[in-house]
């Protein structure tokens, strides 16, 4: 028997002794009151004959206390405390890694809203942990695949270059491919590190006022190689807008959203970036045409490690949009998505 079970049994024993003691006190009090009423009404008289009767009565009282206490202890331990024991057992199972654990409330305990609320909160937490664990497992598999692919490509191209007998044009082509795959590895590693950093950050620091429009134009130029070779049209529908924010963090937001739009926009289609402003907030819309996000995926795409494209036909590791959401939250803002009629719009709203 392990230590936890010994502690549980010892606790039940103490509870039984306590309930037995309380039951005995209650029974003694009832018996004493009964004797008092009998004497007062003349049924019993205080004489030498009362003593044996009182002795037998007290003996009867003591013997009766044992089954009453036992009955009360069993009732208390099995019925009212059973849901609590089930909840504790559920917590132990959850802590040991069994994320399928759920707590069920019986008909009697449903009368108590507080216990129903605790059970529902526990089950919701277990569901979230189970979902996160599944996403984490999928992420490890997906990330391993995504990470391995460029490494294999780089190794293969390096072997071909090492053999020699290649024209200058072929060498340049292979070197360009190695450079591209290396940048892909760097981008994936940077995204994962960025997510870890912003998740652990609770206070927004290094806030400065700068030109938001200029920052977005710079991010578009950084991705020019990606969208220009696919003949994508970029439409910028905004003037000059200033914002007070962490410039480096917001740069990650625009790069992730624009890169995401480029990946999922078919060749020859359009990407739009719009900025609107009110007295209290600035809103940036990144719109791409020609593709849609399934409705069942729209609520999940901002979760870390989630990938709406289960075929993995496009590059990515499911952390970019999680970074966008977390950075928006750090700024006191929000991010949302709408996708219908082959038009997808990501909307970031930030306080001024």
- The widest CA-to-CA distance across the chain, in whole angstroms, is 128
Which of 73-87, 133-147, 207-221, 337-351 is the least confident region? 73-87
As a whole-number percent, the residues of the chain with pLDDT over 90 amount to 30
Q: 349 and 332 in contact (C-beta within 8 Å)?
A: no
Higher-confidence residue of 258 and 107: namely 258
Rounded mean pLDDT, 129-146: 72
Which of 61-65, 190-194, 243-247 is the least confident region? 61-65
Rounded mean pLDDT, 112-118: 78
Q: 264 and 288 in contact (C-beta within 8 Å)?
A: yes
> Which range has highest mean pLDDT (29-33, 195-199, 239-243, 305-309)?
239-243
228, pLDDT greater than 70: yes
104, pLDDT greater than 50: yes
For the domain made up of 145-200, the CATH class stated in words is mainly alpha
Packing angle of the helix pair 82-95, 113-163 (nearest 10 deg): 10
Residues of the chain with CATH 1.10.287: 145-200
Q: Which of 67, 73, 82, 65 is nearest to 18 (CA)?
A: 73
- Rounded to whole angstroms, the Cα distance separating 174 from 70 reads 84
Residues of the chain with CATH 3.30.565.10: 207-351
pLDDT of residue 48: 44
Task: Give the C-alpha distances (Å, rounded to integers) separating 330 from 204, 205, 229, 253, 280.
Answer: 6, 10, 35, 12, 17
Rounded mean pLDDT, 65-73: 61
Q: pLDDT by residue (tens digit) across 295-345?
A: 888 877 887 666 665 544 445 556 788 899 999 999 999 999 999 888 999
What is this structure's pTM?
A: 0.56
pLDDT of residue 123: 86
Q: Give me 145's structure tokens.
A: 């695949």
- Rounded to whole angstroms, the Cα distance separating 48 from 54 reads 10
Q: Give me 152's structure tokens.
A: 């294999």
Which of 20-34, 85-99, 211-225, 281-295 is the least confident region? 20-34
For the domain made up of 207-351, the CATH class stated in words is alpha beta
């Amino acid at each position: 028997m392990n230590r936890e079970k010994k502690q549980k049994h010892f606790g039940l024993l103490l509870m039984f002794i306590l309930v037995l003691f309380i039951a005995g006190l209650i029974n003694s009090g009832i018996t004493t009151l009964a004797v008092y009423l009998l004497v007062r009404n003349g049924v019993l008289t205080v004489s030498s004959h009362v003593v044996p009767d009182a002795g037998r009565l007290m003996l009867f009282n003591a013997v009766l206390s044992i089954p009453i206490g036992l009955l009360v202890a069993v009732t208390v331990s099995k019925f009212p405390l059973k849901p609590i024991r089930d909840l504790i057992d559920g917590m132990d199972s959850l802590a040991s890694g069994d994320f399928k654990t759920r707590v069920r409330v019986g008909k009697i305990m449903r009368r108590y809203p507080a216990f129903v609320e605790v059970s529902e909160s526990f089950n919701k937490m277990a569901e979230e942990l189970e979902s996160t664990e599944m996403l984490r497992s999928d992420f490890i598999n997906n990330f391993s695949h995504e990470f391995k692919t460029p490494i294999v490509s780089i190794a293969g191209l390096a072997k071909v270059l090492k053999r020699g007998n290649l024209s200058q044009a072929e060498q340049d082509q292979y070197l360009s491919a190695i450079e591209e795959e290396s940048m892909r590895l760097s981008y994936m590693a940077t995204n994962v590190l960025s997510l870890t950093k912003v998740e652990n950050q609770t206070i927004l620091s290094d806030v400065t006022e700068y030109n938001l429009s200029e920052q977005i134009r710079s991010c578009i130029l950084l991705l020019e190689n990606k969208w220009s070779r696919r003949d994508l049209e970029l439409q910028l529908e905004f003037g000059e807008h200033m914002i007070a924010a962490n410039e480096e963090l917001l740069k990650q937001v625009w790069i992730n959203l624009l890169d995401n739009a480029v990946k999922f926009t078919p060749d020859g289609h359009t990407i739009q970036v719009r900025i609107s402003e009110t007295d209290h907030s600035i809103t940036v819309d990144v719109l791409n045409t020609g593709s849609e996000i399934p409705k069942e995926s729209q609520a999940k795409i901002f979760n870390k490690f989630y990938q709406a494209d289960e075929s993995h036909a496009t590059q990515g590791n499911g952390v970019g949009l999680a970074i966008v959401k977390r950075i928006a939250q750090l700024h006191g803002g929000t991010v949302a998505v709408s996708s219908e009629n082959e038009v997808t719009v990501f909307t970031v709203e930030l306080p001024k």
